[in-house]
Every structure is written in structure tokens, then in C-alpha cells.
Amino acid sequence: MKFTVDKHEKYVLIKLNESKLNSLISPQLKSELILTNTEGQRNMILDLSAVKYSDSSGLGSLLVGHRICKNSDGVFILTGINENISRLISISQLENVLTIVGSVEEGIDLIFMEEIEKELKKEAR
């Protein structure tokens, strides 16, 4: 699997450099997402701008990312989604489950807003 990982203090950006997110790639992606989470990263942005096609196993790996981030009180954000993947997410009725933004920058902004909100809630207690 070809991908890049760009770690930051509050989040990690993973860019998948594959044209297909299918049963050959998704187990490796799941492993990478879980490993990244166990290293202490709870906020992840997955850039799928290079991905042209995904099947149900690819969708499953996205749900794994969503679940592990949610369970560690973080956010899992998808960006760079094309029409094919968007349609698959829509058919699966997951557009209200997965967080999808238009750009990496929007994802970063969303993570920082979430982090500020969590800090404010902690201070209010």
C-alpha cells in the first residue's frame, strides 16, 4: 500500500496514494489506522484524492477509522472524495456517520475547533 503520513501535534494526515481502495488495500489501511491510533493519535484526516474506486471492504476500513477515533474521543475526517466514493457512502447511508469535508485545510480547521470545544468543556466542569 502506498501512502504518506504527516504527523502533527493535534492530528495526523494520512494520504492514500492508491487508485483503488479494495480488498487488497483495505486490510493494510485498517492496520495503519489502528497503529496510528495506538501511538496516541485520536484525530485523523484521511485524504482520498488519489483514490478513484472503492468497494465495500474499502468502506469498512473507513468505518474502522471512524470507530477508533470516536472511541478515543477524537475525530476521523475524510477529504478528497470523488463522485464514485461519494455515491457508495450515500447508498450505504453513511453520509451522516462519516465526517466529510472538501479539503485538508477544512479538516484541520474542524479538528482545531473540536479541540477548543473540548478544552472549554473541561474548564467548565
pTM of the model: 0.94
> In DSSP terms, which residues pair with 77 in a beta bridge?
45, 99
At which residue does the C-alpha cell 479541540 appear? Answer: 115
pLDDT of residue 124: 84
pLDDT of residue 122: 86
pLDDT of residue 125: 79
pLDDT of residue 99: 96
Neighbours of 83 (CB within 10 A): 8
CA distance 77 to 10: 13
Q: Containing H/E element for 79?
A: strand 76-79
10-residue mean pLDDT profile of the chain (125 residues): values are 93 96 95 95 96 94 96 96 94 94 96 93 85
